Amino acid sequence: MDERSPEDGIVLTDEQKRRRRARSIAIALALGALALLFYAVTIVKLGPGVLNRPL
Amino acid sequence: MSLVNDGAELAGPDRAETLRLSEAQVGDYFALMKPRVMSLVVYTALVGLIVAPGHVHPIIGFTAIVCIAVGAGAAGALNMWYDADIDAIMTRTSRRPIPAGRIQPGDALGFGVTLATGSVFVLGLLVNWAAAGLLAFTIFFYVVIYTIWLKRSTPQSIVIGGAAGAFPPMIGWASATGGIGIEAVALFLVIFVWTPPHFWALSLTRTGDYAKAGIPMLPVVAGAEETRRQILRYTLVLLPVGVSPWLIGHAGAIYAAVALAGGAMMVALAWRVRHQRGAPADRAAKHLFAFSILYLVLVFTALLVEGLGAAFSRAVA
């Protein structure tokens, strides 16, 4: 018999939690890689000029 | 990506029955990007980028290849989203993430659209907009022209849709030069003419599958005999087209030798497909399909070797 009440909302199984965590980590890694890529290309395109701007 | 499937009820005592929580693994999303197709796309794009005239900074070149790979993956995901109904019917594709129930169609659509938009804009912002425009057109061509329009309506879908797979070396070239040259068009033509015999050889061994799914593949609509004839015709055209980069002076002797030998082998295998019947004909079609992949890898590797050799000579001089 299901012991959960409707007020419990959606309850994930351990396997679902593990897979959601793995998906979240993959998204985080992809976003981190994108940030690194933008940083590297900025340095390549602008070089030292990236620091040369009026304050 | 949503946690639950479309139409799920979020409350009530029956929620356990009505909710299907996402159990997709990271690998399922990777499978959605058709990694095997993506690897060929990446390789041909890389060759296009390296053999193009001029110098590309390695970081910019790497960025271009990543964007092309992600764009190709997005096109694959959108293809799987639209084709989920026929994928479920065909044995070869029934274990894909959507028909197998591991990823919901709406999630695949969101994944594909996000990656397609992201790859085009990142390529435009970080590399150049000519390459980004070509990538956007390629994704559009594969998803809308091939998948949605042609695939279910004409056996010529393989010929016309083949253009989508032929664009990557051109995108690689545009990433390096900011434009398109006659040499890039020659590389496009090699893959464009290569595609029909490659896919029709596969379809000869899967005719029942395609017929069951209602896809008007050439063997289903015109019969195996006509398909074998068309395979040989396209392979005979592929032989000179494969050598064309050398004929226009873009490739050297190594490439010419590889393209000639590989093209001759393709013709020999297509000849066997054309003239054998029964089980040997099935084997011949499988051999042609397998060798066609090797052919494409070999001719592009020959170009790559020559391109890297020329770059090395310039660096030493």
CA distance A3 to chain B (A): 11
Say how far apart CA B35 and CA B263 lie, in whole Å.
Answer: 26
Element (H, E) at A40: helix A14-46
For residue B9, what pLDDT is reported?
A: 42
CB pairs < 8 Å spanning A and B? 47
Question: Which residues have a Cβ under 8 Å from the Cβ of A21 and sit 6 or more positions away?
Answer: none
Inform me whether the C-beta atom of residue B14 falls under 8 Å from chain A C-beta atoms: no
For residue B103, what pLDDT is reported?
A: 94
Contact B302, B255 (CB under 8 A): yes
**ipTM entry:** 0.79
Which CB contacts under 8 angstroms, 24+ apart, belong to A9-17?
A9/B11, A10/B3, A10/B4, A10/B10, A10/B15, A10/B19, A10/B21, A12/B21, A13/B21, A15/B23, A16/B21, A16/B22, A16/B23
Along the 317 residues of chain B, how does pLDDT read in single tens digits?
Answer: 444 444 444 444 444 444 566 788 999 999 999 999 999 999 999 999 999 998 899 999 999 999 999 999 999 999 999 999 999 999 889 999 999 999 999 999 999 999 999 999 999 999 999 999 999 999 999 999 999 999 999 999 999 999 999 999 999 999 999 999 999 999 999 999 999 999 999 999 888 889 999 999 999 999 999 999 999 999 999 999 999 999 999 899 999 999 999 999 999 999 999 998 878 888 999 999 999 999 999 999 999 999 888 878 877 87
Is the Cβ pair A6, B11 closer than 8 Å? yes
For residue B139, what pLDDT is reported?
A: 97
Say how far apart CA B212 and CA B207 lie, in whole Å.
Answer: 9
Looking at chain A, the whole-number percentage of residues with pLDDT higher than 90 is: 45
Q: What are residue B4's DSSP bridge partners? A: B21
Instruction: CATH number for B24-180: choose from 1.10.357, 1.10.3210, 3.40.50, 1.10.10.
Output: 1.10.357
Is the Cβ pair B11, A41 closer than 8 Å? no
- By Cβ distance, the residue of B13, B24, B126 closest to A41 is B126
Is the Cβ pair A40, B59 closer than 8 Å? yes
Question: Which residues have a Cβ under 8 Å from the Cβ of B170 and sit 6 or more positions away?
Answer: B48, B134, B180, B184, B185, B187, B188
Residue in A closest to B18 by C-alpha: A10
Each domain of chain B, given as residue ranges in start order, spans 24-180, 181-211+219-312
Is the Cβ pair A6, B122 closer than 8 Å? no
For residue B22, what pLDDT is reported?
A: 77
Instruction: Give me the torsion for CA of B217, B219, B221, B223, rounded to 10°.
Output: 170
For residue B59, what pLDDT is reported?
A: 95
Is the Cβ pair B15, A41 closer than 8 Å? no
Alpha helices in chain B (DSSP H): 15-18, 26-32, 35-51, 58-82, 84-89, 105-126, 129-140, 157-166, 168-177, 182-204, 207-213, 218-221, 223-247, 253-275, 278-316
Contact B147, B8 (CB under 8 A): no
CA distance B38 to chain A (A): 18
For residue B10, what pLDDT is reported?
A: 44
For residue B315, what pLDDT is reported?
A: 77
Return the CATH fold of B181-211+219-312. Four Helix Bundle (Hemerythrin (Met), subunit A) (1.20.120)
